[in-house]
Structure 1
Amino acid sequence: MDLTMLGSSLVQEDINKFVQNQGYGVKGLVDIIKIKTLPKQYIHPKEDRFNINNNNNNNNNCIPIIDMSNPNKELLEKSICEAAEKWGFFQIVNHGVPLEVLEEVKAATYRFFEEPVEEKSKYMKGKSTSNNVRYGTSFVPEMEKALEWKDYLSLFFVSHEEANLLWPTACRNETLEFLNSTEMITMRLMEILMRGLDIDEIDKRKTTLLMGSKRINLNFYPKCPNPELTFGVGRHSDVSTLTILLQDDVGGLYVRGLDGKSWTDIPPVKGALVINVGDALQILSNGKYQSVEHWVVANGSKERVSVPIFVSPMPKAIIGPFEELLERGETALYKQVLYSDYVKNFYKNVHDGKATIDFAKA
């Protein structure tokens, strides 16, 4: 392909081939073609774009920041459960994951996306030796009328042996270390949230339901020539139980405000992890804990990375409201569904707010 001609003509079919099929991603549009204006396939309808006027960050509308070293256990646990009920999002500090682990996985994310296209494209759909390792762009490009301004590497964790064999060497060790370092805080949060449901024991079955699988994504958001016309990730809620997110210092994550209309940003806090409730926990808790819409805006002056860990049920798990809740007389708001079916439904549609949860409604 003549990249010079592509840069001047911006033919849609050529751009799609360059970005998606050849694996250059949106990063290639910025670094190689050096586009000055946004290609039309990334321009979203005006009604779907982020409206900065709907940003609401007064003192009463800020995502909680929770200090996990608080010696007052009762107050700490209450603040976590209330945040999961009210906001669906909160940040944690003093969580036990070393700062150097966080910095190294961010550096490893940059390192992977700086790799030559010949290296990154080994992990594209149709080329990767495993469905558990996937490099791609946007969300579901074949379904989207307008694309998202993001490239990603998605790694489904099966075992350390498989990871050491299949994950890219540019980021493997740092990604595994981040994953390993979050195990204790993930379990602690799950135990606290279960006590908030008056469930005191996480037995083997609940462990499978709450955290039977993990997927870690390395997300890269290049600098965008017209950020007001597009976004990095569209409005959605996660399908996980919990998501453990590491932001960099650029920011750009916005969540649905308490009024249901405005958007509240989650400002980066050095050393913090962002925690959010996923659809699976909303279903398991019978609606007590709420997954919340969020999206990522594009940035016109800086590139950005983020590293989420999606802690989820096992794919073969059947999820529905916990029996203990129904035995106390609660009416089931959700039916029993195979978790892999729920996830497949999520990935066969474009990002559309919280529409996926309807798949599980009773």
Structure 2
Amino acid sequence: MAVDAEIELPTIEFRSSDLKRGTEGWNRLCKRVREACETFGCFDVVYKKISTKIREDAFELLKELVEVPVERKQKNTSPLPYHGWVGPCEQVSVLYEGFGVGDASNYDSVKSFAQLMWPNGHPRFTETIHTLTTQMEELNKLIWLMLTDSYGLREDSLKMNYTTLVRMMKYLAPPPGEYERGLFAHTDKPVSTLICEDKISGLEIEVSDGQWIKLTNLSPSSFVFMVGDPLKAWSNGRLKSVNHRVMMSGDKDRYSIAAFVIPNEGTIIKAPKELIDDQHPQLFKEFDFMDFFLYAFSDPAKHIDNGQLLYSYASLSPPVSH
């Protein structure tokens, strides 16, 4: 499980001059985004439209959030897995703590969360997290549009009603000299993910069996886009759902804010007919997103996987025996 410093994740800058659909710059950008998602399953997107000020404010507020009493943190609950507060534990990591806000581009959802954490509410927290989430949601939509354009598909080929789950996370620095797991290796079960980091590295992705690269030197305007298992199924296996983990070293805590796409109940994941042909036979059956999501978390052992769960759940081919 060595970390390879030779391989670098693609960094793609979204310049405003290239964001007009149909232009040469747009088409080049779409191709780079698709190739990064097919090869790595993720990429570093430099997107200056989201200001560094809103990011800095969000992380400052996250540092306030982790200081609220545990009895308030425990009020952040949800019937859905990983939608509420998860404190340090062996199952996830003793270094990890995370909060969840469902439908976070809805102002009232963030306000309700803030009122649970702070008895008098926290208007600045509500305003900042709602703004950041809304802007991250727009960036996700832009990347989806680039993928559909790059495959020559209609815009509605990847269109679904969904909400954005925001998770705000803290990873404690490990004991001096140690290199410890902050979050187990897994592929994401939501459709796609955008991660906003706060200067301290720790995120690693698997580029081939047992070969990992650490994401370092991300710019202050960087977000990491990740393909989830349902997006891989939608693309008929063309896009890679990337196995990733968090490994901690050094003496500084790490903070991270991630926005996950959670389709509404009843959403069916299926590949567009244009992505199925003789060279690319259909790999996955159509499936209900929420059934898949709940199945993935029904047993703690299931979601600690390297992407094989999607195949065991939805593959049209019988598993290969060894």
Give the TM-score normalised by the residue count of structure 2.
Answer: 0.83
Distance across 2 between alignment mates of 1:207 and 1:331: 22
Q: Alpha-carbon deviation of 1:328?
A: 7.8
Larger Rg: 1
Q: Which residue of 2 aligns with 1:201?
A: 155
Distance across 2 between alignment mates of 1:94 and 1:162: 26
Question: 1:42-191, aligned counterparts within 5 Å?
Answer: 51=1, 54-58=2-6, 61-69=7-15, 71=18, 72-124=25-77, 134-137=84-87, 144=91, 147-157=93-103, 159-167=106-114, 168=117, 169-170=121-122, 171-191=125-145
For the 8 Å contact 2:180–2:249, the answer to whether it is kept is no
For the 8 Å contact 2:97–2:171, the answer to whether it is kept is yes
For the 8 Å contact 1:282–1:290, the answer to whether it is kept is yes
Q: Alpha-carbon deviation of 1:223?
A: 2.0
For the 8 Å contact 1:95–1:185, the answer to whether it is kept is no
Structure 1 stretch displaced more, 94-103 or 272-281: 94-103
Structure 1 stretch displaced more, 350-359 or 105-114: 350-359
Residues 328 and 227 of structure 1: CA distance in aligned 2, closer, same or farther (over 3 Å): farther
Residues 322 and 138 of structure 1: CA distance in aligned 2, closer, same or farther (over 3 Å): farther
Q: Alpha-carbon deviation of 1:242?
A: 1.7
What secondary structure sits across from 1:315 in the alignment?
coil
Distance across 2 between alignment mates of 1:150 and 1:62: 26
Letter in 2 for 1:207: K
Question: Which of 334, 345, 348 pairs up with 2:284?
Answer: 334
For the 8 Å contact 1:96–1:185, the answer to whether it is kept is no
What secondary structure sits across from 2:50 in the alignment?
coil
What secondary structure sits across from 1:223 in the alignment?
coil
For the 8 Å contact 1:135–1:153, the answer to whether it is kept is yes
Letter in 2 for 1:249: K
Distance across 1 between alignment mates of 2:309 and 2:222: 29
**Structure 1: 5+ residue stretches without partners:** 1-50
Residues 329 and 201 of structure 1: CA distance in aligned 2, closer, same or farther (over 3 Å): farther
Give the TM-score normalised by the residue count of structure 1.
Answer: 0.74
Q: Alpha-carbon deviation of 1:341?
A: 1.2
Aligned residues: 296
Distance across 1 between alignment mates of 2:138 and 2:260: 15
Residues 243 and 132 of structure 1: CA distance in aligned 2, closer, same or farther (over 3 Å): closer
Please list the CA deviations of residues 141-170 of structure 1 after superposition, one character each: whole Å capped at 9, or x if unmatched.
6xx3x7452010011117433432344445
Question: Which protein is richer in helix relative to its size?
Answer: 1
Distance across 1 between alignment mates of 2:48 and 2:142: 10
Distance across 1 between alignment mates of 2:269 and 2:175: 43
Distance across 1 between alignment mates of 2:205 and 2:108: 37
Please list the CA deviations of residues 180-226 of structure 1 after superposition, one character each: whole Å capped at 9, or x if unmatched.
122332221111101222213226xx421xx6221110011112226
What secondary structure sits across from 2:194 in the alignment?
strand
Letter in 2 for 1:298: M
Q: Which residue of 2 aligns with 1:316?
A: 266
Q: Which residue of 1 aligns with 2:214?
A: 265
**Structure 2: 5+ residue stretches without partners:** 19-24, 317-322
